[in-house]
Amino acid sequence: MENRLAGETSPYLLQHAGQPVHWQPWDGEALSAARAQDKPILLSIGYSACHWCHVMAHESFEDPDTAVLMNELFVNIKVDREERPDLDQIYQAAHLMLARRAGGWPLTAFLTPDGTPFFCGTYFPPRVGRGRPAFREVLQSVATAWQEQREAILQQNEAVLETYARSLPRPSGSPPVLDAGPQRSARERLARAYDAEHGGFGGAPKFPHPTDLAWLLRLAADEGDAGARGMALHTLGAMARGGLLDQLGGGFFRYSTDPRWEIPHFEKMLYDNGPLLALYADALALSGDACLARVVDDTAGWLLREMQHEAGGFCSSLDADSAGEEGRFYVWTPEAVRALLTPPEWAVAEPHWGLDAAPNFEGRFWHLRVARTLPELAQRLGASEAVLADRLASARGKLLAARETRLRPGRDDKVLTSWNALAIAGLARAGAVRGRPEWLAAARRALGFVRGTLWTDGRLLATWKDGRAHLDAYLDDHAWLLEALLALMQADFRPADPVWAGELAEALLARFEDPSDGGFFFTAHDHERLIHRPKPVHDSPLPAGNASAALALQRLGHLLGEPRYLRAAERTLELFAPSLAEHPGGQGRLLEALAEHLRPPTLVILRGEQAGAWRDALLAQYAPGRLVIALPGHEAALPAALARPLPPPGHTAAWVCRGTQCLAPVQDEDALRALLGPPPP
């Protein structure tokens, strides 16, 4: 028995295709059915790697009696939040409005037939418990309210739609002043929320917040802010030592359930690991910390080993569960570890990973984290760090090989344009810092997949699986792909890169920009009409689309000498300036865009015999306000703003430009370093 989800591409939707619930995808047929039958819509939003989505599916959606009730009372629509972030944004905002608290997944929303939400929740258990009502009781209560309190629901809907409308920013009467005030306010806010003991911000659950950390690193470089540097590097070190990082296979889990970064929620998301890879590469370039180098190497290794699809793009996620239990693939017992290792390996592995302490997961398992560092163990065991590092590397290899024989978590192998862009940018930055051409090649392969499969006749598509690409792309897809192109053309320039970047920028302006108020809508002008059309600017775990668009357009505008891109970025900053001044928290990417508006980036154009070597040396430094382009050593069609003459054979030339002014070329690497100044301390 199959419902209407059987024809979908989303692995999440296909997980529900054989359930007795008459699930439908979000489409015209489902919405028309709700109107024709005068039934409310039960909208369930989740994703394939979501633990509590699986729990609710097993407890309720696979239960025949519950399914009968759902089918009788509602038109049931299932949505993959990764394929339809437009719907997820709208109804997560509704949960915040109606439930007065943040939502999550699974999101359970009840809508009138026109799509307006009137009751929202997240996970509901089959029986009363965990402080939540039973799901069947919720179904009955909502259906009764729909029949008996229709007028009150419709009045509430008017208020909900008004709240949506008020959430859109409006330009002020006069152009706002763009200055560094929000940067100082955000810095103070982060300092107040900072966990000086464990790193990070706030308590449990604790998320990495890569855009905030990236902005703190930038403050350290641009302003010499030692406090910002300390907060960022301490947090990154604590995350790397904790259980948020897979200590054996590399890659980060989604978030920590405790303030110590010890026990994660075990799903691994591509969208977390792309930005974190770039962030750790930047921190390594700034600090030179060898521990950060291992994190970069292991995370990039995990992406290439486990997440790159044979077709070239990167898959979306790994499930939190295996064998029906969360985290089972990753956790150990001391006995199992000891049986795999030699006595010298066990002597270092046991204290290093905390296997000599009490179990830290479900009272019976050990999730590996760095309990004692190698310097501590060297003093304790009377051996050199190098010897202990070799033993630990051998132990890690044996445990990883043994773990590979376990039942693996499911992999969501759909390829999302937006998340691939984040992974491409991360690999490009990490490959440049670590001098790893194979990472750049993997990024190129993914970019080629996106361009060849998801870019058609000047339109970008959002998702691909099993040979089928579909769904029009969103703001994030365009903005993050522009950022990825900018990162990759610095690490590995190809003449086609700026051409495609220009085409993407033109599509972004034509299809998403608000020509009257400025900024960018999340959906294109010809997108399906929904009850709300947001202009997102606050970072979630991901950078906000408007902020990324402003930052990418600014950089591309300086790179190509295109004032329209610079003006679109400036209008975006002006539109959001009042909210940035009043509530600067959670807007790290927009703060970066503001910083580059106030102090335009330095552009370094290289050409000649040593252009690649000079580029590699510059990119290995952390200089966030610098763009480096090494042009090919042969004649090539180049944009006018980048075109520079080939120097004589055996010579290399560098042009340094700031804003609209370019200095005379230099042909000596020491002279170039003098022009650019020393890297941040």
pLDDT, averaged across the chain: 96
Query: Collapsing DSSP states into helix, strand and coil, what is residue 533?
Result: coil
**For residue 199, what are its two tokens?**
């790193």
Residue 128 has pLDDT above 80, yes or no: yes
pLDDT at 349: 98
Question: DSSP class of residue 25?
Answer: -
Helix (H, G, I), strand (E, B) or coil at 3: coil
In the prediction, which pLDDT does 32 show?
A: 97
Q: What is the mean pLDDT of residues 274-297?
A: 97
Q: What mean pLDDT comes out for the span 249-256?
A: 97
pLDDT band at residue 544 using 50, 70 and 90 as cut-offs: very high
Specify the DSSP class assigned to residue 122. S
Instruction: Determine the pLDDT at residue 681.
Output: 74
What does the pLDDT look like over 43-64, one tens digit per residue? 999 999 999 999 999 999 999 9
Above 70 in pLDDT, residue 1? no
Read off the pLDDT of residues 372-394 as tens digits, 9 standing for 90 and up.
999 999 999 999 999 999 999 99
3-class secondary structure per residue, 293-335:
HHHHHHHHHHHHHHHECCCCCECCEECCEECCEECCCCCECHH
Domain architecture of the chain: domains with CATH: 4-166 (3.40.30.10), 207-323+412-598 (1.50.10.10), 330-405 (1.10.10), 602-676 (no CATH)
Instruction: Convert the pLDDT of each residue in 84-97 to its tens digit.
Output: 999 999 999 999 99
> What's the CA gap between 624 and 119, in Å, rounded?
45
User: Quick one: what percent of the chain has pLDDT higher than 70?
Assistant: 100
448-464 pLDDT per residue, tens: 999 999 999 999 999 99
Three-state secondary-structure class, residue 118? strand
128-132, 526-530, 593-597, 673-677: lowest mean pLDDT where? 128-132
Amino acid at 57: A
CA atoms within 13 A on the CB side of 626: 25
For 476-485, the pLDDT digits (tens) are 999 999 999 9
What pLDDT, on a 0 to 100 scale, did the predictor assign at position 177? 87
